[in-house]
Structure 1
């Protein structure tokens, strides 16, 4: 589901004005590879990301997003980073800034595929040979695969 129903309702009231949105990133690792999605809206590669539903626990949201977008079951291992996205203007003109909770996750089962209309491709990429992607997304992958035990955050 590209735009959650509660966001559609908000947008009816505020139009394209900038929204502050809670979001998650699930950095899913299997051996020495990371699961990436090719986004339908901009054609760029990214880890699994998504907006949290009202009242949704963030780790639960990360698992949900991975299953909805890629058909893969995951285990959420730890909180890897807390960050704020750059200001984003989506292709439909909606503007947002995302408070992102990045989770280090591991693959449990399922073979990935583009399970929804948000993505055109889903595949495992070697961590040592990632495709071009936004720097803030690359930083999330690095935080999740760093082996650190404490989450990263900006001061």
Structure 2
């Protein structure tokens, strides 16, 4: 999905001024033993802009709950249905500067989601590949996303408040 219209409209008014947005990271786990695999698997997408493997992540639309955004983004990007099990962490990212000069920070809501149905496939132009990976055989993932994955996989239901800019 391209940049949401509401951001384009804001950028028309504020230019490259730093913009604070609400983001969501969806750590999707498949705990089943179907398809011959053993143990939990994690859904990852390969980002088109950086080539990095990451959990699904996206921007929360105006008026949308961040949990709903997590489920929506998983469908849009990976064509998989998943439901939120818990809010794992809330944090603030570092400031990103994009090639066009736009600057943004995100309040990120990291959720753990449970796989429900669907066969992973690339759903939009934000990624070039998508797939399941055993937890003990993950591809190289940026540390900021590994931290989010660890928090989502941690036992318990408490939410971790992250007070340092995690990226």
TM-score band (shorter)? over 0.9
Which residue of 129, 144, 147 maps to 1:121? 129
Deviations 1:71-104 (A, max 9, x none): 1000110100001112212344322111000111
Q: Which has the larger radius of gyration?
A: 2
SS at match of 1:108: strand
Matches within 5 A, 1:43-122: 43-122=51-130
Aligned pairs, how many?
Answer: 155
Task: Give the 3 Å change call, closer, same or farther, for CA 98–105 of structure 1 in structure 2.
Answer: same
Task: Give the 3 Å change call, closer, same or farther, for CA 44–93 of structure 1 in structure 2.
Answer: farther
Structure 2 residue runs of 5 or longer lacking an equivalent are 32-39
- Whole-angstrom CA distance in 2 between matches of 1:11 and 1:52: 17
RMSD: 1.2
Deviations 1:94-118 (A, max 9, x none): 2211100011101000011110011
Structure 1 match to 2:2? 2
Structure 2 match to 1:143? 151
Structure 1 residue runs of 5 or longer lacking an equivalent are none
Deviations 1:20-53 (A, max 9, x none): 1101111000121111111111111110100000
Moved over 4 A (4+): none
